[in-house]
Structures are given as C-alpha cells and as structure tokens.
Chains A and B, each alone.
Chain A
C-alpha cells in the first residue's frame, strides 16, 4: 500500500542535541511538507519542498533544517537552536501545482525534551 512513513513515533532530545525525524513516501509525490502541532493547536508549516533539491521555509522555519536529496525522502532536523522543540511533528505529501490535489499525512512523531 502507498503511503507516508514517519519514524520514530516517539523521540527524546537532550539539551543542545540535534535530532532528525524521518519521513519517507512511496506515493511518487513531488511535494512534501513538515508541520508542527502544539497541544490543542492547529498545524503550522515549517518547511516544504516541491521538487528534489529544492525547498522553501514555511512560517516557523527557525531552528529547523531539511534536505531533499531523493524524491521519496524529506528528513527534518531539529537543531539545538530550536529552544522549544516539544511538539507533534507531521509530514505530508501531495502532487504539486494541482490545487485540487489532497494532502496525505504520516502518523506523526512526538518529540519531547529530556
């Protein structure tokens, strides 16, 4: 079955540490996204990529970095510069340029600070 796989499901970060969240899709989608969700809040866009080797900052990119070396993969690194990283992180994909095309989401990674 096609879909988006996020790993790990739970992740703990120590102070000053960088951590990387994995997102893999086999839907052959060109566009991929990272969202952050705080308790009781909506989703906020961190980064998005419409094609391999290209990505753009969303609303809250500070303290995060991404790469898009392969179409299937869009890892997110939460750097030590992100002072409040505890949140639920969601990865999504879609076909770009078609406004009627829907988003497919992974099951999320819960990141907590030790």
Chain B
C-alpha cells in the first residue's frame, strides 16, 4: 500500500519557515518521496523529491528520516503565493502515483 498520511491543514505567518510533515510507514526501499502542491482550480505542480538524503532546491527543502518512514517539506520563508494544498506521494514501480487529501496551507499576512 503506497499511502501517505498528512495533517489536513496548517497555518503559517508570512515570512516564517513552515514544516509540513508526512508519514509513509509502508515505504519500500525503491520508493521515491515526492511533494507536489496545488492551487485552486489548477493542476498540481512538482515541488521536490528524494530517496534517502535530504534535498534542497529553489522552492523548498526535503528532510527524510533515517528510517524513511516520514519526511518533512520545509518552506524557508512562507509567502502568500505558497498558500496551496501540499501532497506527499510515493513514486512506485508501475508508475502508480497515489495522492491522499494533502495538507492545506494557509499563510497569514
């Protein structure tokens, strides 16, 4: 089962860091951890992905637990444009990407 568990919603003040958690206790050794975000009435867009090591890109950082059963997406300075639904999913053999309900992030000015 390639399911992940995320909190339904989170809030952050503008220009403060945000840590979005994700549990994936059934992850297998070859599953990649992907994060996407979705604005209202749009398709999801890629944020970041990783396998074992922490990853950084211009949008965010991904911290992966040593046992890989959880991960955290880090937005270093939240802006109003970061308000979206964030999905944590597993990339698995057979190209079946399963999306849960995600975390709705509200950024407070």
Contact = CB atoms under 8 A, between A and B. Distances in A.
Contacts of B91: 99-101
A45 B96 contact: yes
B44 A105 contact: yes
Interface in B20-37: 30-32, 34, 36
A44 B98 CA distance: 7
Given A99-B92, A100-B51, A106 B43 contact: yes
A33 B42 contact: no
Contacts of B15: none
Interface stretch (A12-20, A60-68, A70-78, A90-98): A90-98
A110 B87 CA distance: 21
Nearest to B87: A42
B44 A96 contact: no
Nearest to A88: B41
Contacts of B46: 102-104
Interface of A: 4, 31, 33, 35, 40-45, 48, 50, 58, 88, 90, 92, 94, 96-97, 99-108, 110
5 contacts: A94-B95, A103-B34, A105-B43, A106-B43, A108-B42
